[in-house]
Amino acid sequence: MDSNRSPRSDSPPTDQATESPTAAHTTRRRLLAAGGATALAGLAGCMDIMNSIAGAILKDVNVLNGTNQEQSGSVTVVDPNGETQLSESFTVAPSDSDDEENTDEPSSTPAYGDVFTDAGEYTVTVDLDSAINETSSREASVTVDNTDDQHIIVGLGADGAPSPIEILVIDEFSDLADRFGDNA
Protein backbone atom coordinates (compact mmCIF):
# COMPACT_ATOMS: atom_id res chain seq x y z
CA MET A 1 0.00 0.00 0.00
CA ASP A 2 1.20 3.54 -0.80
CA SER A 3 2.55 5.14 2.38
CA ASN A 4 0.93 8.48 1.46
CA ARG A 5 -2.59 6.98 1.51
CA SER A 6 -4.61 6.25 4.56
CA PRO A 7 -5.95 2.71 4.74
CA ARG A 8 -9.56 3.96 4.33
CA SER A 9 -9.03 6.45 1.51
CA ASP A 10 -9.10 6.10 -2.23
CA SER A 11 -7.90 9.66 -2.67
CA PRO A 12 -4.52 10.30 -4.32
CA PRO A 13 -1.39 10.94 -2.24
CA THR A 14 -1.14 14.44 -0.82
CA ASP A 15 1.78 16.66 -0.04
CA GLN A 16 2.02 16.69 3.75
CA ALA A 17 4.12 19.88 3.97
CA THR A 18 2.23 22.73 5.59
CA GLU A 19 3.18 26.25 6.49
CA SER A 20 3.61 26.98 10.17
CA PRO A 21 0.63 28.88 11.57
CA THR A 22 3.08 31.35 13.11
CA ALA A 23 4.93 32.07 9.87
CA ALA A 24 5.99 35.71 9.86
CA HIS A 25 6.50 36.14 6.14
CA THR A 26 4.06 36.13 3.27
CA THR A 27 5.81 34.97 0.15
CA ARG A 28 6.42 37.62 -2.43
CA ARG A 29 4.87 35.35 -5.04
CA ARG A 30 1.58 35.19 -3.08
CA LEU A 31 1.48 38.95 -2.58
CA LEU A 32 2.27 39.69 -6.23
CA ALA A 33 -0.31 37.16 -7.34
CA ALA A 34 -2.90 38.84 -5.13
CA GLY A 35 -1.90 42.23 -6.54
CA GLY A 36 -2.13 41.00 -10.12
CA ALA A 37 -5.39 39.30 -9.43
CA THR A 38 -6.65 42.48 -7.77
CA ALA A 39 -5.86 44.46 -10.91
CA LEU A 40 -7.64 41.94 -13.09
CA ALA A 41 -10.60 41.69 -10.79
CA GLY A 42 -10.88 45.46 -10.66
CA LEU A 43 -11.25 45.46 -14.42
CA ALA A 44 -13.89 42.78 -14.14
CA GLY A 45 -15.76 44.56 -11.32
CA CYS A 46 -14.88 41.95 -8.67
CA MET A 47 -12.71 44.07 -6.37
CA ASP A 48 -14.57 42.85 -3.26
CA ILE A 49 -13.49 39.28 -3.95
CA MET A 50 -9.86 40.28 -4.45
CA ASN A 51 -9.88 42.44 -1.30
CA SER A 52 -11.05 39.36 0.61
CA ILE A 53 -8.20 37.28 -0.79
CA ALA A 54 -5.63 39.98 -0.06
CA GLY A 55 -7.11 40.39 3.43
CA ALA A 56 -6.34 36.75 4.09
CA ILE A 57 -2.71 37.26 3.01
CA LEU A 58 -2.02 40.54 4.79
CA LYS A 59 -1.26 40.55 8.50
CA ASP A 60 -1.46 43.39 11.05
CA VAL A 61 1.85 44.96 9.90
CA ASN A 62 3.29 44.45 6.39
CA VAL A 63 6.54 45.77 4.86
CA LEU A 64 6.46 46.31 1.08
CA ASN A 65 9.53 47.23 -0.98
CA GLY A 66 8.97 49.43 -4.02
CA THR A 67 12.68 49.98 -4.72
CA ASN A 68 14.98 48.09 -7.06
CA GLN A 69 17.32 47.11 -4.19
CA GLU A 70 17.04 44.76 -1.25
CA GLN A 71 16.11 46.71 1.88
CA SER A 72 16.73 45.80 5.50
CA GLY A 73 16.05 47.47 8.79
CA SER A 74 13.73 47.28 11.76
CA VAL A 75 10.12 48.08 12.56
CA THR A 76 8.70 48.87 15.99
CA VAL A 77 5.02 49.27 16.87
CA VAL A 78 3.79 50.71 20.16
CA ASP A 79 0.11 50.21 21.02
CA PRO A 80 -2.36 52.81 22.40
CA ASN A 81 -1.40 51.76 25.95
CA GLY A 82 2.27 52.63 25.37
CA GLU A 83 3.41 49.01 25.22
CA THR A 84 5.74 47.74 22.48
CA GLN A 85 3.85 45.07 20.54
CA LEU A 86 6.40 44.58 17.74
CA SER A 87 10.13 45.09 17.49
CA GLU A 88 11.60 43.12 14.60
CA SER A 89 14.38 43.28 12.03
CA PHE A 90 13.47 42.60 8.41
CA THR A 91 14.98 42.08 4.97
CA VAL A 92 12.83 42.41 1.86
CA ALA A 93 13.72 41.75 -1.78
CA PRO A 94 13.56 44.47 -4.43
CA SER A 95 10.25 45.01 -6.19
CA ASP A 96 11.67 43.88 -9.52
CA SER A 97 13.10 40.60 -8.18
CA ASP A 98 12.47 37.76 -10.62
CA ASP A 99 13.66 35.05 -8.23
CA GLU A 100 10.62 32.78 -8.54
CA GLU A 101 12.46 29.58 -7.61
CA ASN A 102 13.69 30.70 -4.21
CA THR A 103 10.84 32.04 -2.06
CA ASP A 104 12.84 32.09 1.19
CA GLU A 105 13.91 35.30 2.87
CA PRO A 106 14.61 37.91 1.58
CA SER A 107 12.31 37.16 -1.37
CA SER A 108 9.30 37.34 0.90
CA THR A 109 7.30 40.21 2.27
CA PRO A 110 7.72 40.63 6.03
CA ALA A 111 4.27 40.48 7.65
CA TYR A 112 3.56 40.38 11.36
CA GLY A 113 0.34 39.22 13.06
CA ASP A 114 -0.96 39.56 16.60
CA VAL A 115 0.24 43.17 16.90
CA PHE A 116 -3.05 44.98 17.49
CA THR A 117 -4.34 44.99 21.06
CA ASP A 118 -7.05 47.67 21.05
CA ALA A 119 -8.48 50.23 18.67
CA GLY A 120 -6.60 53.50 18.92
CA GLU A 121 -3.42 55.27 17.98
CA TYR A 122 -0.33 53.17 17.24
CA THR A 123 3.18 54.59 16.88
CA VAL A 124 5.20 52.95 14.12
CA THR A 125 8.96 53.49 13.83
CA VAL A 126 10.98 52.27 10.86
CA ASP A 127 14.79 52.41 10.74
CA LEU A 128 16.55 51.31 7.53
CA ASP A 129 20.12 50.10 7.28
CA SER A 130 20.55 52.10 4.02
CA ALA A 131 18.76 55.34 3.18
CA ILE A 132 16.21 55.65 0.37
CA ASN A 133 16.52 59.12 -1.19
CA GLU A 134 18.43 60.30 1.90
CA THR A 135 15.73 59.01 4.27
CA SER A 136 16.66 56.19 6.64
CA SER A 137 14.03 56.46 9.36
CA ARG A 138 10.45 57.49 9.93
CA GLU A 139 8.05 57.54 12.84
CA ALA A 140 4.33 58.00 12.40
CA SER A 141 1.21 57.74 14.51
CA VAL A 142 -1.63 55.92 12.80
CA THR A 143 -5.14 55.15 13.98
CA VAL A 144 -6.44 51.61 13.85
CA ASP A 145 -10.23 51.62 14.34
CA ASN A 146 -10.90 47.98 13.45
CA THR A 147 -8.24 45.59 14.73
CA ASP A 148 -9.75 42.65 12.82
CA ASP A 149 -9.91 44.16 9.34
CA GLN A 150 -7.27 46.89 9.12
CA HIS A 151 -3.58 46.57 8.27
CA ILE A 152 -0.55 48.80 8.74
CA ILE A 153 1.50 49.06 5.57
CA VAL A 154 5.12 50.19 5.61
CA GLY A 155 5.89 51.15 2.02
CA LEU A 156 9.54 51.56 1.12
CA GLY A 157 10.25 53.66 -1.97
CA ALA A 158 6.78 53.34 -3.49
CA ASP A 159 6.23 55.31 -6.71
CA GLY A 160 3.86 58.20 -6.09
CA ALA A 161 4.40 58.16 -2.33
CA PRO A 162 4.98 61.53 -0.65
CA SER A 163 7.85 60.06 1.42
CA PRO A 164 10.47 57.34 0.77
CA ILE A 165 9.10 55.54 3.85
CA GLU A 166 5.31 55.56 3.99
CA ILE A 167 3.34 54.30 6.97
CA LEU A 168 -0.40 53.99 6.53
CA VAL A 169 -3.45 52.02 7.58
CA ILE A 170 -5.58 50.31 4.96
CA ASP A 171 -8.92 48.56 5.19
CA GLU A 172 -8.58 46.79 1.85
CA PHE A 173 -5.82 45.99 -0.61
CA SER A 174 -7.40 48.35 -3.16
CA ASP A 175 -6.71 51.25 -0.76
CA LEU A 176 -3.07 51.08 -1.89
CA ALA A 177 -4.11 51.85 -5.47
CA ASP A 178 -6.32 54.67 -4.22
CA ARG A 179 -3.43 56.10 -2.20
CA PHE A 180 -0.68 55.78 -4.82
CA GLY A 181 -2.69 55.72 -8.06
CA ASP A 182 -1.79 53.19 -10.72
CA ASN A 183 1.71 52.76 -9.27
CA ALA A 184 0.64 50.69 -6.28
Secondary structure (DSSP) of 121-177: EEEEEEEEEEEETTEEEEEEEEEES-TTT-EEEEEES-TT-SSSEEEEEESSTHHHH
Mean per-residue pLDDT, 83-90: 98
Query: Please, are residues 67 and 157 in contact by the beta-carbon 8 Å criterion?
Result: yes
Query: Please, are residues 161 and 135 in contact by the beta-carbon 8 Å criterion?
Result: no
Interval 109-141: pLDDT, tens: 899 999 999 999 999 999 999 999 999 999 999
- Per DSSP, helices labelled H in the chain are 28-44, 47-57, 174-180
Q: Give 104 or 143, the one with higher predicted confidence.
A: 143
Q: For a pLDDT cut of 70, what percent of the chain falls above it?
A: 58
Model confidence at 51: pLDDT above 70: no
Interval 56-81: pLDDT, tens: 678 999 999 999 999 999 999 999 99
For residue 30, give every residue at least 6 positions away whose Cβ sits within 8 Å of its Cβ, in sequence order, or none: 57
Q: What is d(CA 58, CA 51) in angstroms, rounded to the nearest whole number?
A: 10
pLDDT for res 24: 46
